[in-house]
Amino acid sequence: MKENISAAKAKISIKNLDLFYGSFQALHSINMDIYENEITAFIGPSGCGKSTLLKSLNRMNDLVEGCRIEGEILLDGKNLFEDIDVNILRKRVGMVFQKPNPFPMSIYDNIAYGPRTHGLKKKSELDEIVEKSLRGAAIWDEVKDRLNKSALGMSGGQQQRLCIARALAVNPEVLLMDEPTSALDPISTGKIEELLDELRKQFTIVIVTHNMQQAARISDKTAFFLLGNMIEYGDTEQIFSSPRNKKTEDYITGRFG
């Protein structure tokens, strides 16, 4: 399923990143490159900092009172905190959350919402974006005859793919996913994983997951976090077959605790 891209380019570079909530330090000196057209998985126990780091990649932590970040996050070499407007950043770096969160409106309007926010009004162009995004999220055939129906009537798995389509509609470069399948049944989870395998051809994907098997199945690289520190980062195959750190090994094999 995974392809090895030998000449992968760093899409995001994280340099000496420390993150604080008030006086509490949640991340400690994180250094890593996230590569273009790959899936990078963040794993680790609850509260280890993986979701905090994920949300930093499109500055969602700006919304948290008392949050302070030191160090750099570069997107294509430009500093997220100094060189990129936050609205442009969130168009370039989309987010899909743990629980599907469709807007209480039609399927069509869910997808058209982002492009409309960015000033697109022409119906023919919106129609094209809606179809392209739903096809990109592998759900067009299931919903094409009920685009004007409420998105809230869809199943959980369909809602999550709709949320992925909604993120795709503004043509991002990076997709951030925070436990995107944890609320889904195994069949829906399988569909999302197949979808991610296709999407990596066009996008850079970063996924937080508690599911070790999922990380092993779909990611090119894996980072293991513990107590706000990145303990180990490397090719997924190496991390799972011969981890260099004992804590990583204990977590992957279920002996952690």
The pLDDT score that the predictor gives to residue 257 is 60
82, with CB counted inside 10 A (0-12, 13-18, 19+), is exposed
Q: What is the mean pLDDT of each run of 10 residues along the chain (257 residues)?
A: 60 98 96 97 95 96 92 96 93 93 96 93 96 95 96 95 95 95 90 93 96 95 97 97 94 80
Radius of gyration of the chain, Cα coordinates, nearest whole angstrom = 18
For the chain, how far is it from start to end, CA to CA, in angstroms? Answer: 32
Instruction: Say which CATH superfamily domain 10-101+154-253 falls into.
Output: P-loop containing nucleotide triphosphate hydrolases (3.40.50.300)
Per residue, the 3-state secondary structure of 123-181, as one string, reads: HHHHHHHHHHHHHHCCCHHHHCCCCCCEHHHCCHHHHHHHHHHHHHCCCCCEEEEECCC
Per the listing, tokens 């706000």 go with 228
Instruction: List b or e across 220-234, with b for residues whose CB sees 16 or more CB atoms inside 10 angstroms.
Output: bbbbbbbebebbbbe
Round to whole Å and give the CA distance between 147 and 84.
Answer: 35
For residue 212, the SS3 value is helix
Round to whole Å and give the CA distance between 246 and 19.
Answer: 25
Asked whether the beta carbons of 210 and 252 are under 8 A apart, the reply is no
Domain coordinates in residue numbering, the chain: 10-101+154-253
Instruction: List b or e across 165-187, with b for residues whose CB sees 16 or more CB atoms inside 10 angstroms.
Output: bbbbbbbbbbbbbbbbbebbeee
Asked whether the beta carbons of 215 and 17 are under 8 A apart, the reply is no
Asked whether the beta carbons of 209 and 179 are under 8 A apart, the reply is yes
Q: What is the pTM of this model?
A: 0.92
Q: Nearest-5° angle of CA 192, CA 34, CA 182?
A: 30
Asked whether the beta carbons of 136 and 199 are under 8 A apart, the reply is yes
The pLDDT score that the predictor gives to residue 7 is 59
